[in-house]
Amino acid sequence: MSLAILSVWRGLGLKRLSLSAIALLSILIWGCSKQVTLNSAVRQILTVNSATQPGSEISYSQIEAHVIELSGSPSDDKMGGIIAADVNDDGQKDFVISQPGSIQTYSYSGEELWNHEAQLNLSGKSEEEGLPGLHGAGVQVGDVDGDGKAELLYVTSDNKLEILEGATGNFKYSIQLPSVESKFDRWEHAIIANFRGQGDTDLLLQASRNVSDKDDYIRDDIQAAFSIQSLIASGSSARPLWQQTDFVSASHGPARVVDLDSDGQDEVVGGTILGADGRRLHDIGISNRGFPHIDSIAIGDIAPDRPGLEVMIPEERGRKRIILYDETDTIWESDHRQRSSDDDGDKVAVGNFDPARPGLEMWFRGNESEHFTVLDARGDVIADYQINDRKPNTWTNRGFEVIHSIHWTGDGQQHIVAKERHEAGDVGIFDAMTGQAIALFSAAVDRLYVADVAGDWREEIITIEGTTLKIYQNPEANPSPDRASLWEQAHYRRQKMTWNYYSP
């Protein structure tokens, strides 16, 4: 490396410099007298690799988003969301966008595949209005009838299950669902499941009731499993595989349906875990009350010395515990928040935030997004900082929201992605361990989603701003191009289909 390049490198405070950056800086330095300008690729390399100090200025990323203009009205500020799924079976992920009264699908190239008027059930605050909750898409995609083609399904506000052809959006089945005695006397949300070991041919239906200690607070404690074929054949007369009326749910969203123990059948995950046959397998001791409750839930292979997947929740109020558990046991509880002012431990993200440590790390947002902590797989606190000490100077004082973990660089370390809290604002990629901004994207974001849609196993940032969908992809070469797609992981597919504001 020439002394000129080394000087620029050190002057910019770079910790590492890729070969592409070296080449581009060489051109820049060689061409200074010819008024060579710093192009967007160089600016992005400097932005992503720079070691800015917490709280200091960081330039907005110059990555050019892939833009898709959406038809129809702007996104509702509360209802509806986005998922990525291959609706037309061409091997490429498409975008499914729901909002009150309609479902739109777009290809990655930007073509509108279809736009369907739908009476699908959407909601704002699930503790008041029922499922699917803030930013919940309320739709599912999968081959649910075994014909080898994708279908899209949803529950309507008049208690029907509608199943559309994924490729065209045409009606395939419209099914009157069995009745349910609940707050709204109808099913509110449906999740594709595999309860019988026969693939994605089952459905979990969910409905809410009032909790015992707060009249205006509801929770989706009714869970019922059905064979989709039985619903198609028998409609409102279909009998469930099983039904439970005392499931302990997260406070602000639906259950998670995931195969925790890798036995080929799904469990239903909340404060209690139900087996594929509906039996209660484990209970962490938080009941369906106003408080304490569970705001956020995350699932991953957190503890490397245990088989299968683990579940992580922060308890809001009460004993303020952090609890790691699986379908058989509570693995550990951390009481570190009892020694702090963090009553509002309401958001969690799980990822490989420190590759030098075994297992995955857990990042927590507490106290109105002011105080962040990170725990390792054993439950020890390994990072602790205040957002106002670390946030970019351009960022709102209200902190972070819609917090995803992301495989952005491809080097094994995950980061967190979040938008500005309580406003249609910017998006940032942050080092979970330090709070340092890695990259900022100037935006007015209404919806934020993270998934691998470009197909190189790394993940992209997907935003909706009004009637515009934007996809931000890391332009640097993938250092691990041969790694298997994240979509091959069943729990990844499940969690990217069923998410909302509180638990992305």
**Where do we find the tokens 């300008």?**
37
The CATH classification of domain 66-497, taken from the options 2.40.50.140, 3.30.450.80, 2.130.10.10, 1.20.1730.10: 2.130.10.10
Spatial separation of the C-alpha atoms in residues 49 and 14, rounded to whole Å = 6
Residue 34 neighbours by CB under 8 Å, 6+ apart: none
**Torsions phi, psi for 415 (to 5 deg):** -125, 180
Q: What is the DSSP letter of 6?
A: H
pLDDT tens-place string over residues 275-329: 999 999 999 999 988 888 998 999 999 999 999 999 999 998 888 899 999 999 9
Spatial separation of the C-alpha atoms in residues 158 and 358, rounded to whole Å = 49
Spatial separation of the C-alpha atoms in residues 204 and 247, rounded to whole Å = 13
Check: CB of residue 447 under 8 Å from CB of residue 457.
Answer: no
Check: CB of residue 399 under 8 Å from CB of residue 386.
Answer: no
Check: CB of residue 486 under 8 Å from CB of residue 29.
Answer: no
First-residue to last-residue Cα distance in the chain: 43
Spatial separation of the C-alpha atoms in residues 314 and 333, rounded to whole Å = 10
Spatial separation of the C-alpha atoms in residues 205 and 190, rounded to whole Å = 5
Going by C-alpha positions, the residue among 354, 339, 338 that lies closest to residue 411 is 354
CB-based burial of residue 148 (10 Å sphere; 0-12 exposed, 13-18 middle, 19+ buried)?
exposed
CA distances (Å), origin 355, targets 135, 276, 358, 414, 435: 31, 34, 7, 9, 16
pTM: 0.89
Check: CB of residue 503 under 8 Å from CB of residue 313.
Answer: no
pLDDT tens-place string over residues 199-258: 999 999 999 999 877 878 999 999 999 999 999 999 999 999 999 999 999 999 999 999
Q: What is the DSSP letter of 44?
A: H
Instruction: Map out the domains of the chain as residue ranges.
Output: 3-49, 66-497
Q: Which residues of the chain have pLDDT under 50?
A: 1-52, 54-55
DSSP string over 54-118? TTS--PBP-PPPEEEEPPSSPPPSSS--EEEE-SSSSSS-EEEEEETTEEEEE-TTS-EEEEEE-
Opening angle at CA 344, ends 390 and 53, nearest 5: 5
DSSP string over 111-152? -EEEEEE--B---S-HHHH-TT-TT----EEE--SSSSS-EE
